[in-house]
Chain A
Amino acid sequence: MKLFIALLARELRLSLRHLGDTLGALLFFLVAGALFPLAIGPSPETLGRLAPGIVWVCALLAALLPLDRLFGADYEDGSLDQLLLCGLPAAAIALGKALAHWLATGLPLLLAAGPLGIMLRLAPEALPALLGGLLAGTLVLSLLGTAGAAIVLGARRGGVLLPLLVLPLAVPVLIFGAAATDAAAAGLSPRPHLLLLCALLAGALPLCPIAAGAALRGAAE
């Protein structure tokens, strides 16, 4: 446990030192979201109807941005060997990395999603469903992304391969996340969709770190 916290502290210190990379995902999220009113016009009905989908797709793409450096830098400078030999199981290392990715990328996205939603004329009553869905959704994305990043580690075109691997897996998150917000905007209960998102999280939480851990060991060989 002490080692796990030390790993988390190391990762967060590194993301603070490379603040440009960390904030890059957040700024991409805001800029990409702000492009939509320019492209499809400022009419409140159209924007409000599209807002849940826009926020979700932008969050999904923004969460992918920092993934190829998640293990890449450690792999290249030999730190990955040291991590694998630190005494933690490989799956715990992957879980720590996923948690650090969420704290450095998912949490800022979550905080920015509210203002972006309001900017896109999202119905105010749908806001809690959007944020609740994103809370579970960004966690699943961090876990899936970590597994994907570990699997493409060492591949020659890993940066291109990674979205192709992770985006199809993220489709259920997108569907239920956007549907929860849509339901709330239409005056229905977002509960079933949110529960399905939580079920996805409950599945990804044990499976993704195990897959990522096995991939890390394979990459180190």
Chain B
Amino acid sequence: MLEAEGLAAFRAERLVFRDIGFAVPSGGALILRGPNGSGKSTLLRLLAGLLRPAAGRLTWRGMDALADTLAQARRVAYVGHQDAVKPGLTAAENLRFAAAAARVSVRDALAAFDLAPLAGLPVRLLSAGQRRRLALARLALSSGPIWLLDEPTLGLDDASIGLLGALLASHRAADGVVIAATHLPLPLPEAAELRLAGA
């Protein structure tokens, strides 16, 4: 159970949002919607512990989640709007660091997004959609219960969205939590929605 109440955040001097509250049960999902600049990405970074909230509380299973940012970092898997892949490394090499602490092998993570044939290719040769799939393949390596996704389906084809849906479903079946910010339809059945209007 991930619960937030009264969250507020500043970017520089500007108040991005305030009084954000939600509760996501184990196995649940939450979709963040709202116009550009309404703070969806900021909220995801705040939930990841990358950004300090200006006000409010976030609790995970009843405990203050942001008191120890290192513990929160181990609980979350974050896919930002940037792919965070290195063009000079191959697809498999890009995942090797994320795989260091994982129980899943790099090969399986690549297979989860149908990237196995591209494993040995330098990422600079991959298309934008293929890079996005590589960024999402990090999810398969994560053992954290909270997945935070920023526009995960941007540039993905239908088959890859299906693969993402399968991965999200298995994560939720294992009592994981998914929070995603998006403007596009997501393969997240029975997800709650949170509208951000901006402050």
A residues contacting B by CB (< 8 A) are 2-3, 5-7, 9-10, 13-14, 17-18, 73, 77-79, 81-82, 84-87, 89, 217, 220-221
Contact = CB atoms under 8 A, between A and B. Distances in A.
29 contacts: A3-B100, A5-B100, A6-B97, A10-B96, A13-B89, A14-B86, A14-B88, A17-B88, A18-B88, A73-B86, A77-B83, A78-B80, A78-B82, A78-B83, A79-B86, A81-B45, A81-B48, A82-B78, A82-B84, A82-B98, A84-B50, A84-B73, A85-B49, A86-B73, A89-B70, A217-B69, A220-B51, A221-B50, A221-B51
Given A14-B89, A220-B50, A81 B84 contact: yes
Most buried by B among A2, A18, A78, A217: A78
Contacts of A89: 70
A18 B78 CA distance: 27
B100 A17 contact: no
Given A79-B84, A220-B50, 11 more contacts: A3-B101, A14-B88, A17-B89, A77-B86, A78-B82, A81-B78, A81-B80, A82-B98, A85-B48, A86-B101, A221-B51
A87 B101 contact: yes
B107 interface: no
Give 3 nearest A-B pairs by CB, closest first: A78-B82, A6-B100, A78-B84
Contacts of B85: 77, 79
B52 A221 contact: yes
Contacts of B76: 85
Interface of B: 45, 48-52, 69-70, 73-74, 76-78, 80-86, 88-89, 93, 96-98, 100-101, 138
Nearest to B76: A85
Contacts of B98: 82, 86
Given A13-B89, A81-B78, A81-B84, A87 B70 contact: yes
B91 to A, nearest CB: 14
A73 B73 CA distance: 21
B61 to A, nearest CB: 19
A10 B98 CA distance: 10
A2 B101 CA distance: 7
A86 B97 contact: yes
Contacts of B77: 85
A78 B78 CA distance: 11
B50 A85 contact: yes
Given A17-B88, A18-B88, A82-B78, A87 B83 contact: no
A14 B49 CA distance: 27
A18 B50 CA distance: 29
Contacts of B52: 221
Given A77-B86, A78-B83, A82-B138, A13 B73 contact: no
A18 B122 CA distance: 13
Contacts of A7: 97
B187 to A, nearest CB: 23
A215 to B, nearest CB: 14
A17 B86 CA distance: 10
Contacts of A9: 96-97
Nearest to B88: A17
Contacts of A10: 96-97
B138 to A, nearest CB: 7
B89 A77 contact: no
B96 A87 contact: no
Nearest to B10: A221
Most buried by A among B76, B93, B100, B138: B100
A3 B50 CA distance: 19
